[in-house]
């Protein structure tokens, strides 16, 4: 019996702890590309490029070593993106190819880019940086810099605002770079820099939260903490300054922006509503119930799309008609100060991570694609912001959840307790609907226990026992545990089933703790204080109890072993980890360790335990010697962990590393709600979820003709492996296809003009092309024969493969093609027919 957990080094090159999810994608104001096909978002130290059409993350731009603070397009080249960060770096990106073109180093960390312009071949920057006085953490400066091309360093040119708020939303540049607008450090004054002078306008009783300059006129708008929006006119002259007030928001305005032409103003705040104001009129339109407070609003250059960022780490993409067309959702961070009460669960169907999301929601997050699949509304209540932001409203929250191993059933427990009135508790059972591809509520149980739940667990399925019904155990703080079973509820109106309480158990009126089922579902372990009780779940009969004589502290977690360790039971207390042998009812081994989280892999026999010092130990219950040890995996406390199965076997196991993660990947969440994992290379494309980024150009749709050419190019390459032909033919064909496919459909000449040249590339050297292969018949009857003789099957998931298969043809034609045509002639005939069909399709598009 070991007394301490030994330290084991498996390999010389130690793995690293990588941040897998949890980074905010709303930390900066999103920016559209010039053609509105891409949306750029700052996420940690990277820049994510999202497609506005598919919603996928097509690329990540990584060069910063600290948080990205601002994004903007290069005014001299709309195909380039500029990013700034707290690492005092400004990078110029070619976002299409994902290449960093240029970088400038600044003396201070950058909190925002106010403007970037080029003059005389030199870049001039106006940036928001922190104040040189280190004691003023919220004080910033707007400083002008000149980019030096030789050493790529920025030299200071002048100070615009000596002291201002350190918030990028409170600084903007006016039309034609004539003036700068900012906010004082205490947010009580509006600052205007015009003609090398600084004009100040004081606000009474309110604070300015955001500023937006009009793109064409000498005016600007400011949002305030009381929900009012002020329009400022002729502010360059203090005597002629005029302002007007627009009021709809009940709480502080968090962001506002003008449309590119300046005819509309968009604003958002804590009301979760996007307001669209018509300039200089009181007409307004609304998009309510967006689910979370709005932090940033961005308008596309063509004024067709709006990007709205939210506090729940999500971005809604709206049309100018205020209809939602796309949602980009990162891992939602909850409002719980102690992490996620549900913990981390795995959905067996989608292999997605399930945890708390928005208030009253469960989020299903796919770690393999790094995107959220959907939000499941459990409570079904609208989110309402508190009028006093310092005292948020008490909302109904999900504190416990469990999913059965097949993914057919989901059990949730929700609780509302304000500490003054009697709490509201509900236990809900959800069934997965194959048609709707979502969970539908089946049973609702009001007040399942007299007090709150402390555990909720499904019984595993046993394939050898067909009569085994689904079973759920719930342990409450009322010193009781209840077994819930599925019964038939069919009547003359419908076929249905429901969940009902089958039995209730207790032990010496002791507090109920953790619960767990054996791998085959034949045993149930329920913790009562420092005692572990084993029950028969079918009869609810107590079988035996385990109690340690040398550790009288309460048992925190209990788990049964799996696979070859199914006869073992693992339990943890505040300073002890103990393994019991169910066959001998004795302690197998025990170690002194401050365990805070214990989790098992459902596909293997391995378990992982995290200590209060941040150490990770992976072990088999049958052996006290750990198979893997990593010290200080996180500076923050680990609150939950889970194993997520791979889509394919991990590539690290083939190298003899991290064999315990061969079938599943370990993820753990800290108190700061950062999702971490352990691996060797953060940039290596592994099966556990790192997206293989593709060039943006390849994401554009291809024409049917280019797909057909791709198929014949591949087939021609296979034939050349077995035949001796002139290689110049292949080179000539490749050049011709590249030239033809690089042109747009509207710029290409008529098809008969290059049909002759193309067919010559398809024939071997010295073979004369047939005359009839170059003739395209315009009669409708022949076109109908072509359509019936060819079937084009395009599969987008197979690298633009195309199959050309012959259907039933008139016997005379089929016989003629088989008897009188050679192999190359048949191939040419198929191309002739396909080109004729493509020509008819192209001719119908260009016909006026």
250, pLDDT greater than 60:
yes
Structure-model confidence comparison of residues 543 and 801, the more confident one:
543
The per-residue DSSP string of 460-501 comes to PP-TT-TTPPPEEEEEETTS-EEEEEEEE---SS---EEEEE
Lay out the sheet containing 242-247: strands in order across.
208-213, 219-224, 228-233, 242-247
Residue 365: its pLDDT value, please?
93
* Measured distance CA(790)–CA(785) in Å, rounded: 9
Residue 726: its pLDDT value, please?
41
Structure-model confidence comparison of residues 432 and 139, the more confident one:
432
Measured distance between the N- and C-terminal CA atoms of the chain, rounded to whole angstroms: 88
286, pLDDT greater than 50:
yes
Phi, psi of 698 (to 5 degrees): -75, -10
**What mean pLDDT is predicted for residues 641-645?**
95
Structure-model confidence comparison of residues 137 and 638, the more confident one:
638
> % helix / strand / coil in the chain, to the nearest 5?
15, 45, 45
Q: Is-contact 220 235, C-beta < 8 A?
A: yes
Closest among 321, 289, 293 to 305, alpha carbons compared: 321
Residue 13: its pLDDT value, please?
57
**What mean pLDDT is predicted for residues 115-136?**
80
- Both tokens of residue 378? 């459990």
Residue 714: its pLDDT value, please?
55
Token pair 């067309």 in the structure block, residue = 325
413, pLDDT greater than 90:
yes
**What mean pLDDT is predicted for residues 539-566?**
90
Residue 818: its pLDDT value, please?
40
Confidence of residue 10 (pLDDT cuts 50, 70, 90): very low
> How remote is the C-alpha of 769 from its chain's centroid?
55
> How remote is the C-alpha of 760 from its chain's centroid?
50
Give the helix/strand (H/E) hosting 741. Answer: helix 727-741
Q: Is-contact 102 63, C-beta < 8 A?
A: no
Closest among 220, 224, 223, 156 to 192, alpha carbons compared: 220
* Measured distance CA(32)–CA(301) in Å, rounded: 7
Count of Cβ atoms closer than 10 Å to residue 712 Cβ: 18
Q: Is 9 left (phi over 0), alpha (psi -120 to 50) or beta?
A: beta
For 523-582, what is the HEC assignment? CEEEEECCEEEEEECCCCEEEEEEECCCCCCCCCEEEECCHHHCCEEEEECCCCEEEEEC
The secondary structure of residue 4, as a DSSP letter, is B
Residue 743: its pLDDT value, please?
61
Confidence of residue 465 (pLDDT cuts 50, 70, 90): confident
pLDDT digits (tens, 9 = 90+) for 83-93: 999 999 999 99
Residue 368: its pLDDT value, please?
85
- Both tokens of residue 632? 């200080």
Tell whether the torsion through CA atoms of 179, 185, 190 and 196 is positive or negative.
negative
721, pLDDT greater than 90:
no
**What mean pLDDT is predicted for residues 622-632?**
93
Confidence of residue 593 (pLDDT cuts 50, 70, 90): very high
546, pLDDT greater than 80:
yes
The secondary structure of residue 63, as a DSSP letter, is -
403, pLDDT greater than 90:
yes
Closest among 430, 372, 426, 419 to 398, alpha carbons compared: 426
Give the helix/strand (H/E) hosting 782. Answer: helix 780-789
Beta strands of 166-225 (E only): which ranges?
A: 172-173, 179-183, 189-194, 197-202, 208-213, 219-224
Structure-model confidence comparison of residues 676 and 762, the more confident one:
676
* Measured distance CA(800)–CA(607) in Å, rounded: 44
782, pLDDT greater than 50:
no
Q: What percent of the chain has pLDDT over 70?
A: 76
Confidence of residue 715 (pLDDT cuts 50, 70, 90): low
**What mean pLDDT is predicted for residues 31-60?**
93
- Both tokens of residue 536? 């028969």
pLDDT digits (tens, 9 = 90+) for 195-247: 888 999 999 889 999 999 999 998 999 999 999 999 999 888 888 889 999 99
Mode of pairing for the β-strands spanning 16-21 and 438-446: unpaired
627, pLDDT greater than 50:
yes
Phi, psi of 366 (to 5 degrees): -85, 110
**What mean pLDDT is predicted for residues 786-815?**
39
Closest among 286, 308, 284, 313 to 298, alpha carbons compared: 308
Cβ neighbourhood burial of 520 (10 Å; 0-12, 13-18, 19+): middle
Q: Is-contact 650 679, C-beta < 8 A?
A: no
Number of residues written out for the chain: 848
- Both tokens of residue 641? 């962990």
Phi, psi of 265 (to 5 degrees): -125, 130
The secondary structure of residue 229, as a DSSP letter, is E
* Measured distance CA(367)–CA(288) in Å, rounded: 30
Kindly list the distances between the CA atom of residue 719 and the CA atoms of 716, 792, 801, 823, in Å, as whole numbers in the listed order.
5, 21, 17, 12
Confidence of residue 846 (pLDDT cuts 50, 70, 90): very low
Phi, psi of 811 (to 5 degrees): -60, -35
7, pLDDT greater than 90:
no
Q: Is-contact 425 415, C-beta < 8 A?
A: yes
Cβ neighbourhood burial of 746 (10 Å; 0-12, 13-18, 19+): exposed
Q: What's the chain's average pLDDT?
A: 81
Confidence of residue 730 (pLDDT cuts 50, 70, 90): very low
Give the helix/strand (H/E) hosting 813. Answer: helix 811-819
Residue 398: its pLDDT value, please?
95
pLDDT digits (tens, 9 = 90+) for 331-382: 998 876 556 899 999 999 999 999 999 889 999 999 888 888 999 999 998 8
Q: Please tell me the least confidently modeled range out of 586-595, 676-685, 815-824.
A: 815-824
Confidence of residue 847 (pLDDT cuts 50, 70, 90): very low
- Both tokens of residue 731? 């080179």
Contacts for 771 with CB less than 8 Å, ≥ 6 apart: none
Q: Please tell me the least confidently modeled range out of 569-583, 601-615, 689-703.
A: 689-703
Q: Please tell me the least confidently modeled range out of 18-27, 45-54, 181-190, 783-792.
A: 783-792
Q: Is-contact 207 187, C-beta < 8 A?
A: yes
Confidence of residue 488 (pLDDT cuts 50, 70, 90): very high
Confidence of residue 767 (pLDDT cuts 50, 70, 90): very low
Residue 711: its pLDDT value, please?
58
Residue 503: its pLDDT value, please?
96
Token pair 């290069």 in the structure block, residue = 74
Residue 763: its pLDDT value, please?
64
pLDDT digits (tens, 9 = 90+) for 163-187: 899 999 999 998 776 899 999 999 9
- Both tokens of residue 754? 């290059």
pTM of the model: 0.76
pLDDT digits (tens, 9 = 90+) for 289-321: 998 999 999 999 999 999 999 999 999 999 999
* Measured distance CA(223)–CA(821) in Å, rounded: 78
């Amino acid at each position: 019996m070991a007394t301490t957990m030994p330290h084991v080094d498996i390999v010389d090159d130690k793995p690293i702890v990588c941040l897998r999810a949890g980074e905010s994608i709303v930390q900066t104001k999103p920016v559209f590309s010039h053609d509105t096909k891409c949306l750029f978002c700052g996420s940690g130290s990277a820049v994510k490029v999202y497609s506005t059409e598919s919603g996928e993350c097509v690329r990540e731009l990584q060069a910063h070593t600290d948080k990205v603070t601002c994004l903007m397009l290069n005014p001299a080249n709309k195909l380039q993106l500029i990013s700034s960060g707290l690492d005092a770096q400004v990078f110029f990106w070619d976002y299409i190819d994902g290449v960093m073109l240029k970088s400038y180093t600044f003396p201070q960390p950058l909190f925002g880019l106010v403007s970037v312009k080029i003059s005389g071949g030199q870049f001039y920057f106006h940036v928001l940086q922190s104040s040189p006085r280190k004691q003023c953490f919220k004080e910033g400066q707007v400083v002008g810099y000149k980019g030096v091309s030789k050493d790529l360093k920025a030299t200071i040119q002048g100070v615009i605002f000596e002291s201002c708020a350190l918030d990028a939303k409170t600084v903007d540049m006016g039309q034609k770079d004539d003036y700068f607008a900012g906010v004082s450090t205490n947010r009580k004054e509006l600052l205007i820099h015009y003609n090398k002078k600084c004009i100040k306008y004081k606000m009474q009783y309110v604070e300015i939260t955001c500023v937006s300059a009009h793109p064409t006129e000498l005016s600007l708008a400011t949002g305030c903490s009381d929900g009012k929006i002020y329009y400022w006119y002729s502010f360059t002259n203090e005597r002629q300054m005029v302002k007007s007030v627009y009021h709809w928001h009940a709480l502080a305005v968090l962001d506002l922006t003008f449309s590119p032409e300046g005819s509309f103003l968009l604003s958002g705040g804590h009301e979760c509503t996007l307001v669209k104001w018509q300039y200089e009129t009181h007409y307004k339109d609304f998009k309510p119930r967006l689910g979370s407070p709005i932090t940033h609003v961005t308008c596309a250059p063509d004024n067709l799309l709006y990007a709205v960022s939210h506090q729940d780490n999500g971005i809604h993409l709206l049309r100018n008609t205020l209809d939602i067309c796309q949602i980009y959702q990162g891992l939602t961070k909850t409002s719980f100060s102690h992490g996620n009460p549900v913990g981390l669960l795995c959905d067996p169907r989608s292999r997605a991570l399930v945890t708390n999301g928005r208030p009253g929601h469960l989020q299903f997050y796919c770690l393999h694609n790094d995107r959220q699949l959907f939000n499941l509304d459990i409570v079904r209540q609208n989110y309402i912001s508190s009028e006093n932001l310092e005292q948020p409203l008490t909302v109904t929250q999900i504190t416990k959840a469990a999913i059965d191993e097949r993914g057919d059933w989901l059990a949730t427990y929700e609780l509302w307790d304000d500490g003054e009135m009697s709490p509201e508790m509900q236990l809900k059972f959800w069934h997965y609907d194959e048609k709707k591809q979502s969970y539908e509520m089946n049973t609702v149980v009001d007040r399942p226990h007299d007090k709150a739940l402390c555990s909720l667990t499904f019984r595993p399925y046993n394939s050898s026992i067909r009569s085994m019904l689904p079973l759920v155990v719930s342990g409450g703080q009322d010193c009781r545990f209840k077994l819930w079973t599925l019964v038939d509820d069919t009547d003359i109106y419908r076929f249905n089933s429901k969940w009902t309480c089958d039995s209730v158990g207790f032990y010496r009126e002791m507090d109920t703790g953790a619960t767990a089922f054996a791998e085959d579902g034949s045993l149930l372990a329920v913790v009562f204080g420092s005692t572990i009780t084993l029950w028969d779940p079918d009869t609810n009969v107590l079988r035996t109890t385990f109690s340690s004589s040398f550790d009288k502290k309460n048992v925190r977690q209990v788990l049964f072993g799996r696979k070859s360790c199914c006869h073992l039971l693992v339990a943890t207390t505040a300073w002890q980890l103990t393994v019991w042998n169910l066959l001998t009812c004795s302690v197998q081994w025990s170690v002194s360790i401050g365990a805070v989280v214990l989790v098992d892999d459902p596909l293997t026999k391995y378990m992982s335990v995290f200590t209060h010092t941040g150490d990770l130990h992976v072990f088999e219950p049958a052996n006290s010697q750990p198979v893997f040890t990593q010290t200080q995996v996180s500076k923050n406390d680990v609150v939950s962990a889970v194993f997520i199965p791979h889509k394919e076997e991990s590539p690290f196991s083939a190298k003899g590393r991290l064999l315990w993660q061969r079938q599943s990947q370990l993820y753990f969440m800290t108190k700061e709600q950062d999702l971490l994992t352990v691996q060797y290379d953060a940039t290596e494309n592994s099966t556990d979820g790192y997206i293989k980024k593709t060039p943006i150009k390849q994401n554009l749709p291809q024409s049917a003709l280019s797909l057909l050419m791709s198929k014949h190019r591949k087939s021609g390459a296979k034939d050349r492996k077995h035949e001796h032909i002139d290689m110049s033919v292949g080179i000539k064909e490749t050049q011709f296809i590249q030239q033809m496919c690089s042109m747009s459909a509207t710029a290409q000449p008529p098809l008969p003009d290059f049909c002759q040249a193309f067919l010559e590339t398809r024939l071997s050297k010295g073979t004369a092309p047939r005359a009839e292969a170059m003739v395209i018949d315009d009669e409708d009857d022949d076109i109908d024969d072509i359509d019936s003789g060819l079937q084009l099957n395009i599969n987008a998931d197979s690298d633009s493969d195309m199959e050309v298969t012959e259907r039933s043809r008139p016997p005379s034609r089929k016989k003629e093609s088989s008897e009188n045509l050679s192999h190359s002639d048949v191939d040419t005939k198929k191309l002739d027919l396909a080109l004729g069909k493509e020509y008819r399709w192209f001719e119908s598009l260009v016909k006026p």
